[in-house]
Structure 1
């Protein structure tokens, strides 16, 4: 796609259902990519399937629940990018429909960390190579029905609501210095977000195409 050649783009959660599709799309644009996933096996599989299209792809794996991830994050990214043009955060977890009081304390903490807190932590660690004259776009996905508080979506709903506030705060504080945060509405997430984890075909190709098109239009 015109305009993305040589852009520095990092995708967190690239090995998820949407992330894989997006990575394959961006691999054809000439952009420089850093792709992240939780496990080596999945990250390597995605890297092997896309590196033949683009020789400017770097991959790394790490668990956002690990302190080591944040201790090494800046060094890992800055060794390849001196500036981030686009950050796309697709990290997420949903462990099934449950009443909000049926989660264990650990489940609650992990879900809030994965679906919200890690977004802030990543931005904090990479803040010094974002924004400025070159500008940076940070892209997240949301779903308004879940965001407003949908029954049995427990910590995910709260996380999406918090994410909306985070985006508003970031834009109020940072947009004037070249950092723009963008929330993309993905109506399709409402049909079964567990498909992102299990790889089940809840999404049809046209649904994925719609989400990817919305992301690409913002780059």
Structure 2
């Protein structure tokens, strides 16, 4: 079952766009409130920034999605967004799964909501020289009310053929942002292994197949 632009299985109609399920009970709300007080929730509290942009499906570039990222810094660029130096050290087969960010930043598609331009400028200058790897597990744009099927590899927008997007969802002026970012320097060069679809016209999709389980050795 390859990731595709169609739901892998028919879904019953629930009358709206929310996932199926009953509303939370008062008891569940109380448990959550208590957990917020008593637990550290360290991974959640490490999230330091909200950014939104757009992404396209690697296996079907005609479909785009508005994406929201709640960002946690591990260090200077490890995990899903890496510096150009780290990216260059990756094996070529791995590099094919990553995308560059220069166009996304300079075109005004990458937005940090309600963050003044003077504050976000240094961050944008750094991001313009980075690469990203993004797996989508819930294809809400096709109407899925649950995370169905295989995850899909996503690609960053570009100003060529299928890489273009229509940022109609934003209630801001993309043109103004683009003009304000003209002087942001992009990388000296973008590795041709990234944005693989641009050079080769091919994307990547995941197939789900059954496989024999590895059995642990019996206890002595």
Q: Common fold, TM-score beyond 0.5?
A: no
Bigger Cα Rg: 2
Scaled to the shorter chain, the TM-score interval is: under 0.3
TM-score with structure 1 length normalisation? Answer: 0.23
Greater relative contact order (Cα < 8 A, sep 6+): 2
TM-score with structure 2 length normalisation? Answer: 0.23
Which structure has more helix as a fraction of its residues?
1
